[in-house]
Amino acid sequence: MTRAPASYVIQAEQLSRRFGDTLAVQELDLEVEKGRIYGFLGPNGCGKTTTIRMLTGLLQPSAGRAQVLGFSLPDDAEKLRLHIGYMTQKFSLYDDLTILENLRFIASIYGLTARTQKQRIDELLSIYGLQAKAREFAGSMSGGQRQRLSLAAATLHKPELLFLDEPTSAVDPENRREFWEQLFDLSDQGTSILVSTHYMDEAERCHKLAILENGIKRADGSPDQLMQEMGSRVVEISSADLRPLKQSLIRLPEVISAAQLGARLRVLVRDSVADPVSFLARQPSVKPEDLLSQVRPSLEDVFVSCTGSGREAS
Ligand SMILES: Nc1ncnc2c1ncn2[C@@H]1O[C@H](COP(=O)(O)OP(=O)(O)OP(=O)(O)O)[C@@H](O)[C@H]1O
């Protein structure tokens, strides 16, 4: 593989990883542009962490190659280390050190000089609202504070590329919103970010994303592009009796999924059906008084369309 052009911070080719009989990541091709926020969307166990660990150089791929910031992996993993930041799923700082001590410790690992260390730590404590807590033990912090400290630690050395593995799974919606504001600030300053999530609303905030299932990339592109190209259309039906309606529609080969949303049924119909509203209205289980309308797709619809996770007739 040739050296990655500067416009891409990650280029992976046929990257795979096997653990015994489990194929955690299968032949993944990936391109992440510089300065962008790129999302990995998928359920637990789909291979997000394994991919991130390979792209950070911490885990050897079973097959395939990647170039990250122009370094070839797995060979140049050690050289890559100082150029990236990695916020792991679990809080990986020391509970029995203070916030300040944690940051000083990380700064020393990155080899920052005493002067740069102090400057940078003061700056980060201020950006992430941790000054008042600086001398308290990390173990006494709230979920939101821990998350902000983890982000401060991961960005101490001003990495060009930041890997975040499900960074918001342990915090409330307000902290999640604030956290994303901070990610956009970093992105505006030129940091490229790869973030994994299983939240649709977070994936929708990314410039581009890949949808992963069972270690396989099912789709990738910008959220808008994925919604336009998802291969199905969305119809909502308001009806008095949604449960039996759902059971009957889900059996049709033209229907990808049917999900109840309050008093409406959201039905994904394959785009081989020219007029999905008339098609559904013709079904015997749909009553003349039911209201049908075609609506704009969401990222969740894209996810269901390309992973086939909506066919269970629950
Ligand atoms: N060290 C390991 N040894 C054996 N199997 C592993 C190992 N690491 C991951 N796996 C398996 O590989 C698959 C992908 O796991 P991975 O952690 O990458 O998924 P994930 O999408 O990050 O999910 P989660 O959010 O739960 O970590 C799973 O089936 C997992 O059990």
Domain ranges of the chain: 8-222, 230-307
Ligand 1 atom 7: the closest Cα is on which residue? 19
Q: Which token pair is 159?
A: 């990495």
In this structure, how many other beta carbons lie within 10 angstroms of the beta carbon of residue 174? Answer: 9
Q: Are 60 and 74 in contact (CB under 8 A)?
A: yes
For ligand 1, residues with CB inside 6 Å are 19, 22, 24, 42, 44-50, 166
> How confident is the model over 221-280, as pLDDT tens digits?
999 999 988 889 999 999 998 999 999 999 999 999 999 998 999 999 999 999 999 999
**How far does residue 309's CA lie from ligand 1's centre (Å)?**
19
**How far does residue 49's CA lie from ligand 1's centre (Å)?**
7
Q: Is the pTM of this model over 0.95?
A: no
3-state class (DSSP) for residue 37: strand
CATH topology of domain 230-307: Alpha-Beta Plaits (3.30.70)
Q: Which token pair is 234?
A: 């969305």
pLDDT-derived band at 148 (thresholds 50, 70, 90) equals: very high
Task: Please check whether the two domains, 8-222 and 230-307, share a CATH topology.
Answer: no
> What share of the chain has pLDDT > 90, as a percent?
76
3-state class (DSSP) for residue 170: coil
Q: Which CATH architecture has domain 8-222?
A: 3-Layer(aba) Sandwich (3.40)
- What is the model's pLDDT at position 216? 95
What are the φ and ψ backbone dihedral angles of 155, each rounded to 5 degrees? Answer: -110, 5
Ligand 1: nearest atom to the Cα of 43: 21
Q: Which token pair is 190?
A: 């030129």
Ligand 1 atom 1: the closest Cα is on which residue? 19
Average pLDDT over residues 52-64: 96
Q: Which token pair is 172?
A: 């409330």
Identify residue 134 by its one-letter amino acid code.
A
Q: How many helices (H) and strands (E) does the chain have?
A: 11, 14
What is the ipTM metric for this complex? 0.96
